[in-house]
């Protein structure tokens, strides 16, 4: 019985030591991946990296991590024309099947999905970039974007010939890696003879979201309280190298 107790104690101690070693190793790996991702994507600070699954050391031995979660607080994406940038907030990506080199200098995920938010004030930079003349002496400009409820965006437009701004509800969609905003309908502008096409040149707009981390792309989009929520996805996504 004494020998059995000693054996059990040894097994427990070895198990604890293995668990501690495993957690130390995974923490080191998370730091390495975060630093490499910061360098690759030119981020101002290291992202949050969490390597899931236990034990970690057996995953290392196989050269592939089952599940890696990455969080980037702010990311400057390519906004398309004129080299403009657009800020993406709270980007969270779940990477599956991550193959890596021994020193973590390169890491590629088989598949990735994620979510992020584009604040309305960021989207407004495109929509309200400049005034548009729709009639001689009459200009219009988007001056506000907000949650319109039921998955719609409330677009506020200032028309120079009217005493107060007008508001329209718009639908938001994704096409060719662009967020598209389109008015569901246009109001009667107090007798102004504005062609719908001219007015829609102001109310309807698009914003490119390119060069996201690792080559992930827009998958879907929806209007929410604090901004436009996007989902992203990709395959063979490069985390580093």
DSSP string, 178-211: EEEEEES-----TT----HHHHHHHH-EEEE-B-
Give the Å distances, CA to CA, from 228 to 7, 68, 91, 205: 59, 25, 13, 14
Q: Is 56 exposed, middle or buried (0-12, 13-18, 19+ CB in 10 A)?
A: buried
- Alpha-carbon distance 12 to 183, whole Å? 65
The residue-averaged pLDDT of 202-208 equals: 86
Residue 132 neighbours by CB under 8 Å, 6+ apart? 139, 140, 141, 201, 202
| Residue 233: closest CA among 118, 100, 96, 98 | 96
State percent of the chain over pLDDT 70. Answer: 79
The count of other CB atoms within 10 Å of the CB of residue 78 is 14
Q: What is the three-state SS of 47-94?
A: CEEEECCCCHHHHHHHCEEEEEEEEEEEEEEECCHHHCEEEEEEEEEE
User: What confidence score (pLDDT) does residue 157 get?
Assistant: 86
Cβ-contact 158, 143 below 8 angstroms: yes
Owner of token pair 């102004």: 192
- Alpha-carbon distance 53 to 67, whole Å? 7
State percent of the chain over pLDDT 90. Answer: 25
Cβ-contact 79, 86 below 8 angstroms: yes
Q: What would the pLDDT profile of 63-91 be if each residue is shown by its tens digit?
A: 778 888 999 999 888 877 666 888 999 99
- Please state which of the ranges 47-51, 64-68, 189-193 shows the lowest mean pLDDT: 189-193
pLDDT at 47 over 80: yes
Confidence band, pLDDT 50/70/90 cuts, at residue 136: confident
User: What confidence score (pLDDT) does residue 152 get?
Assistant: 94
User: What confidence score (pLDDT) does residue 113 get?
Assistant: 93
- Please state which of the ranges 46-60, 62-76, 130-144 shows the lowest mean pLDDT: 130-144
- Alpha-carbon distance 81 to 213, whole Å? 19
pLDDT at 14 over 80: no
Give the pair of three-digit tokens for residue 20: 């501690």
Cβ-contact 168, 187 below 8 angstroms: yes
- Alpha-carbon distance 39 to 46, whole Å? 9
The residue-averaged pLDDT of 155-179 equals: 88
Give the three-class secondary structure for 45: coil
Confidence band, pLDDT 50/70/90 cuts, at residue 8: low
The count of other CB atoms within 10 Å of the CB of residue 12 is 10
pLDDT at 172 over 90: yes
């Amino acid at each position: 019985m004494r020998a059995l107790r000693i054996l059990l104690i040894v097994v427990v101690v070895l198990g604890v030591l293995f668990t501690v070693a495993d957690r130390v190793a995974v923490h080191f790996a998370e730091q390495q991946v975060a630093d490499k991702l910061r360098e690759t994507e030119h981020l101002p600070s290291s992202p949050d990296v969490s390597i899931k699954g236990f034990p970690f050391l057996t995953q290392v031995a196989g050269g592939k991590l089952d599940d890696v979660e990455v969080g980037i607080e702010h990311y400057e994406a390519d906004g398309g024309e004129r080299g403009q940038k657009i800020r993406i907030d709270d980007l969270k990506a779940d990477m599956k099947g991550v193959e890596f080199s021994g020193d973590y200098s390169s890491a590629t995920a088989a598949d990735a999905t994620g979510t992020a938010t584009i604040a309305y004030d960021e989207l407004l930079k495109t929509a309200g970039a400049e005034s548009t003349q729709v009639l001689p002496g009459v200009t219009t400009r988007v001056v506000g974007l907000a949650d319109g409820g039921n998955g719609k965006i409330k677009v506020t437009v200032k028309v120079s010939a009217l005493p107060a701004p007008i508001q329209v509800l718009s639908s938001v969609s994704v096409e060719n890696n662009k967020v598209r905003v389109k008015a569901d309908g246009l109001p009667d502008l107090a007798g102004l003879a504005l062609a719908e096409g001219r007015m829609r040149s102001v109310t309807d707009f698009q914003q490119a979201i390119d060069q996201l981390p690792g080559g992930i792309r827009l998958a879907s989009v929806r209007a929410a309280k604090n901004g436009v929520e996007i989902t992203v996805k990709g395959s063979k996504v490069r985390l580093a190298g």
